[in-house]
Structure 1
Amino acid sequence: MNNIPVDSQPKGRKFRSLRWKISFGSSLILLAVVSLFCFVSYLGLMTNFANQQEVEYRRYSLEINSLITTTTRNLHQLAEMIPFLDGMKKALLTSDGENISHVFDAHWALLQFHNDVEFIHFYNASNQLNASWDSLDVTIDDDQLLSKWVRHVNQSEHPINPLLCRESCIQYLIAPILVGGRKVGVVAMGISLVDVFLAFKRISGADIGLLISTKDNPLSQQDIEISNWGVQISALTNKERNHDILKRVNQLYPEMHTLKDSIQLHWNNRYVQMKLFPLDSYEPGKAHLIIITDVTAAVKNIHDSIWKIALIGLLGLIFSEILLFFIFTRLLAKLRDVIFVLPLLANGQFEKFRLSLASADQKQHVRDEVDTLSEAAVSLSLQLEKLEQEVSTRTKMLIEQKNALSKERDFVQNLLDTAQAIVLTQSSEGRIMSLNTYGEMLIHYTEVELKDKSFLQTLIPEYESQDLLFRFKEIHLGERMQLRHEAITHCKDGTTRHVAWLHSHLDKQAENDPSILSVGLDVTEYKRVEGHLAWLADHDPLTNMFNRRRFSEELEQVLSRAERYQHPGALLFFDLDRFKYINDTSGHQAGDSLLKMVASMLSQTIRTDDITGRLGGDEFAIILPEINASGAIEVAKKVLSQLGQAQLTINNRTHKISASIGIALFPEHGANIHDLLAAADLAMYQAKAKGRNAWYLFSDQDRSRERIHTLVYWKEKIEYSHLHDNFVLYLQPIMHVKTKETSHYEVLLRMKDNDGSMLSPADFIPAAEHTGLIHAIDHMVLRKAITQIAHIYKNGFHATFSINLSAHAFNDPELLPILKQELVSNQMNPASLMFEITETAALEDLPGARGLMIEIKELGCGFVLDDFGVGFSSFYYLRELPVDVVKIDGSFIRNLSANSDDLILVNALCSVARGFGKRTTAEFVENAEVLALIEKLDIDYAQGYYIGKPAPATTFFQT
């Protein structure tokens, strides 16, 4: 019976599968229709997008040409105006260079500040230079080129305006000078195109860059070269982001001319469109403009549309399959007869199965899949019956093999238990399946206690890193074979161990097999040693004082704090007199003992808040925050007195201790580390010159070199920072006093200097106000702050923020429209924003301030009145201005614990503010004592270095 053949295709019976033919054919047709429709729709959308971009680029080209034309027109107007300046007509007629220089000096600053003229040269009718002025190092490499232009204008008596691009692009104007209808010479002027690029960015919203060929001119230090293209980036808006984009485009398109047709780049989940425009300069092909446009929204809209079309087609396909299923349900009813007898096959009743299947079988003229299944089941029953006999024969062999495998398993288990490492296995859900004996001993958990518990949640609860979770999923899926990381592992007894983990993927043979093998090596002792090395990086191991590097960091922080809160301070710099003599006569061991003694005496002499450091050899320094000149002198005298009372006896030789101390005050003698240390060092040498064991206070007459900051310097620095995005925003937390929760932050402006340091607004805001750049700074802060806050909200953080407004904001007609636009474009809730104004700002234009505040409050924003209490009319402003919060000036808070008068005054200010229904904030909260006092005074919020120092947003909101 086992050899009965089954004819899979009997004669006279044809096989046709209607379900597969109809369902498969209809599915293919629908898929083809949907795919064709998606393809046609995509081509149409992309064609429309390309046409729109082409129109946009033509508009960009017109805007750039218009801006350059306007710049040229302004130069022409300035040239025509020169003879009408006071005294210039007479000076030009004399053609005397010295006379022209004397007269035009009074007008040069005006042209430079208000018209951004970079240079101006006056030439006589004989092409000779009479006088010249330059604000920057603007020169032409070929000296004959400018002379050629001047000769041409003198001869033709018609002005020319060439555009020359070398390290940057300068718009020149060489024009004849006419006095009373008589030509008296030629004037040559130049203006940079930087303002043109900034104006284009402001008008179009697109980023722009200037690329200049490096073939004939050397690379400037501020420029960035793209070697494949043979160009350098002379100017670029949003430089940090766009420079990375250009480097990527340079890799993808080694030939720069391919950008003339515009290209699209997928960059950091954004889509960027860029196009190259040749700049019509004096040297053709020398300079090009590149315009970079963010087209992410348009491209994503196209993709979303195509996906919607595809989804609709997919739903149609699913509906068709469901319909076919119901149609063929009746046709497949006979399949049930086969299903009902299949359990007999599973139970080994092979003969009964074949008899039951034969009785249910009915002769049909046309065969289908059920007939084929029935015939295959009969054949399968015959094969299974044969295999069952073979299984019983092999069972004995398997039992013997099982015993051998058991012995191997016991060997592996003993090996894992003796290994000096944590060895555990995890399931595909990340739950612990086994743990070796050493692991039980180290983490004090037994294998039974950890069974089926989450590895991450139990042993590494600080695992919130989404990156770590994602990598574990990769190992489970086999996409990553190994993962190494270090983590703090929590033990059952409450202790923690620092463990270096190695996780390896295991190939699963069954569903319940382990998915990951985790091996952990205890590195706790290594980390302890590593921490000690980190301490040595900041301290002098001999004296336990700060070393030079850490002391410089502390000094920088103290200077920053002093600058913000206007606190004076002092730096004491001294070295030990005759220290080399002690080393030479008594040995280096004596010198080391002396240095330790000095360090111990200093710690007993100075105040708690003072900072000491050993800068090297026998050089020491002390930072004295919040102290004046007389106080610093008293500290210096005290140090000298303490040192004078001590003596060191080594090998029957007694050494007296003395020092020479130099004193420098900040910010009077230096607002940065370099200037202050230089001043203190100079004062220390002056003390030595007085006869040693003395102190000397630095004075301005001692200054050997001083950096002079002029309006021109700061104007150029502000414009450069605007162009290169060097303005950054810091946040300072403001704590709710009663709940001790921090959900509000003040936005503070900083400027990144060329050396990487951060400059305070006090350095550049006065210059911005004098040169008319304050409005641009207000607009930039508003846009940058709202964009950054919106980004914080999108990452799931919720807080409120205060943004400072300058005193000039109240006469700026563009401020309110910009605020409305940024709120809408960033989808910001206005209630999350507050604006801070000072009493002095409100005093300059009280009606204007009140009007702007009312309009902004109608949008939903709040207001904070800063420096409350310093003015003579504080209570009047509190009644007149629609503010929500008053910020009590830090001069009343700083010494609140030591000054009873300040306590009475602050209590009165708080009572008045509460009477008007205003919340209160205390500034300059710098210790726990002051915080406790303002809590008793029922002040709502606290701000200061004790609550939190200003820092970048990433410090408070990890995204």
Structure 2
Amino acid sequence: MDKDQTLRLLIVEESRNDAEALANILRNAGQASRLDYAEDCNGINTLLDKHIPDLVLCAMGLESASLPDIAALLKQREVPAPLVAIGETADEAEIIEAMRQGASDLCSYDQPEHLQLVAQRELRQLSSTSKGHNFEARFHESEKRARSLMESSRDAIAYVHEGMHIFANSSYLEMFGFENIDEIEGTPILDMVAPEEHGKFKEFLRNFSKEEATEDSLKTHGQLPDGKQFDALMEFSPASIEGEACTQIIIRNQAGSSKELEQKIKFLSKQDVLTGLFNRQYFIEELELAVTNAVSGSENAALIYLLVDNFKDIKDNIGIGAADMVISDIADLMREHTQDTDIVARFGDHSFAILRKDCDHESISALGGNLRQSIEDHIADIEGKSITTTCSIGMSIISESSPSAHEVISRADLACEVARSSGGNKIHLHNPVVDEKIGKERDQQMHALIKDALEHNQFRLLFQPIVSLQGDTSEKYEVLLRMINDEEEHILPSQFLPIAEQTGQTAEIDFWVIENAIKTLSEHRSQGSDTQFFIKVSGQTLLDEKLVDFVSNSLKEHRLPGDALVFELSEKIASQHLKQAKSFAKALQELHCKSVLEHFGTSPNSFQLLKHMPVDYLKIDGSFIHNLASDTDNQAMVKSILDTANSMNKQCIAEYVQDAHSLAVLWQSGINFIQGNFLQEPSETLSYDFTGEVA
């Protein structure tokens, strides 16, 4: 046990003063400890009903409780804590007798250093034993998960020992016409290979069994029960099943390449369908990571926000389809002027964004100028019509002083508005002094737009799935929000929530989300689904005294059980308003709702915060999920969070999962849930199907 951790100590002595004296011996060695004192077996039983100690010290020669009685009681109650006896003396014969009576060791009162060393040894042993049991449990659970994933795999998988089948999954059985595993056990693997390939197959197996084998796959011809043959790729790897060494064989039909398909799916999850550029959600995730890197001092970056001038007129004059072709042309121009390392995205209906790393004022201004000129010079030939347009470009530098990704976008957007309001076809680098007046005017307009949206129901709820990697089949969705403008375009929360916070409208928006999410969920669950909604709560809403009553009344009105809702508080908000956050989490428990601490791991006191917050889930911040497969620091942080969560019986969610490699690492780590665009972008519908397969 780490000395920084508090040791829960149970001491059986004649008096509390004697017990305190023994506890002080360990405290003097630097071991923080909390004392529980008992005089007899009844007192020990009472304390064990409340909690389990880490170490038990028992004085020898007590009339009320003998050492054998206490040892028997601890064994009966299955208490893993070591029992150390304390006597007036501790010679070799006395130590042996004490150990025969059930003690781990015997120490004397007049040798405090001996007690300190024995306690350290026993606690190390206890910790090692506990870790061993934990690793064994996790190993068995991993085997169970692996078996489950293998069963659900579309690939045909078999385990072979000395050329004979010992196990196969459903796809394998179906491929070769078997109804159950009993029919294939003991069947030679050669029966599944075309006869003319037997020689080559046997030779491959002989070479594969050698330690110096370099080939782990074989292209061959499989043979089906009806005699038909097919081209197959067999992939071999050493394995074990139920402790028996064997070989895993995966048979892939060569009609297509699963790796190519995986790469295609991975790319499409980040891609805007019309332009082929990155989509908005992926861009925001990358921007958040760039801001994190800049704040840490590792790398500056810059953002370009580009808005097509007079796009509404273009759309009205030539139609939506033709206008989309103009957007595609502009996307091609942006590809021509950017680097492979740039993140180029379609940000809105007629807006684009570029994230360039390791960039300064001069280079980003040069890029903006070249883009503006290129778009002005371009002539789009669409259905015999020549279409020209211009753009307004705003730029913002991402540095150590950048507060957040939302603020960086806001600054670039504001700079773009300066360029547009000056007549368009211009570029402008964000300048706080120059932009302040226009910013205030825009804030006033956004405030009016938010007010109008609240009055006329101009908000939309979107839903992104939270998917289990541990076999939980219930539906879970995070509720996201968009505001609709007069042109029926979605306005992102990053554009209107900062204004809502300044004008005190955040709580009203949150109440709208809660009420409409509960209404939607109630209707959805009435169809027989077991769905949960995860709903974010802002700082202003947390401080609103009406919040808990509002949630309670809404649940009753729509006859929705409390466990259908999970409320999310960011780690930052919980730290700033700890008293209110703790009170809210406890109130949710009374309503049978659950709670989440999101963006977990971003503050220095993340783990300390858990001692005060009775939450059910931890949502690991997306910065730790980025490049998880190759970033050892992120892997260590994720492991630390998972270990802490497991010890506190909390479940973990990984947000912003972007690729299959990170997904594989997360699955191997034993994480409970994942969320991100690799699975599905936010949608206005709730239907979603996830098999749980991991490549």
Bigger fraction of residues in helix: 1
Category of TM-score, reference length = shorter chain = 0.3 to 0.5
- Tell me which structure has the larger Cα radius of gyration: 1
